Amino acid sequence: LKAAFAHNQEWGLAVALLHEVTQHRHGAGSKWGPFLDSLEMRLLGSSVVQELGGTFAAELLKLEEEEVQSGFRWVSSNVCKSDNTGICNRRAGSRSTAGTFTQQDFRWALAVVKQNAVPLRLETTGKEYLSLV
């Protein structure tokens, strides 16, 4: 997970979010449970996307989808493929790669991160990082 944060903080935070959601809903629970329950992100349906065709909004959607695909590929290859902690698994407590999260899961998590992440600065080190609020 450190590699994901070092490569792209939003992607790393999306993976951490998916892990916490899995623990909360299907595992031993998460101390962030009440916060996770408050997160909602609706994605545009295909009819809305079609209606936006040829507009600037459609171009922005295309760029977002390209980032989702790129991020999912990178995370799958560089985090999940070598993961032995189960952080990428949809089934809490399982270390089997058969249950790893999907591109659709990553799309949702990245959208939540983009909507809710804010930069925070550690007073002790001055280092800035993203956090969900």
- The pLDDT tens digits for 42-101 are 778 889 889 999 999 999 999 999 999 999 999 999 998 887 777 888 775 555 544 788
Look at residue 89 in the predicted model and tell me its pLDDT.
Answer: 82
| Residues β-bridged to residue 131 | 118
pLDDT at 97: 47
Q: Are 10 and 113 in contact (CB under 8 A)?
A: yes
**Would you call 89 helix, strand, or coil by DSSP?**
strand
Q: Compute the average pLDDT of residues 93-113.
A: 80
What is the structure's pLDDT at 94?
A: 53
**The pLDDT of residue 131:** 93
> How high is the pLDDT of residue 92?
59
Q: Helix, strand, or coil here: 21?
A: helix
Which residues are CB-contacts of 47 (< 8 A; sequence separation ≥ 6)? none
Q: What is the pLDDT of residue 100?
A: 82
Closest by CA position to 21, among listed 38, 7, 5: 38
* Per-residue pLDDT reduced to its tens digit, 3-28: 899 999 999 999 999 999 988 888 78
Tell me how far apart the alpha carbons of residues 26 and 83 are, in angstroms, rounded to a whole number: 19
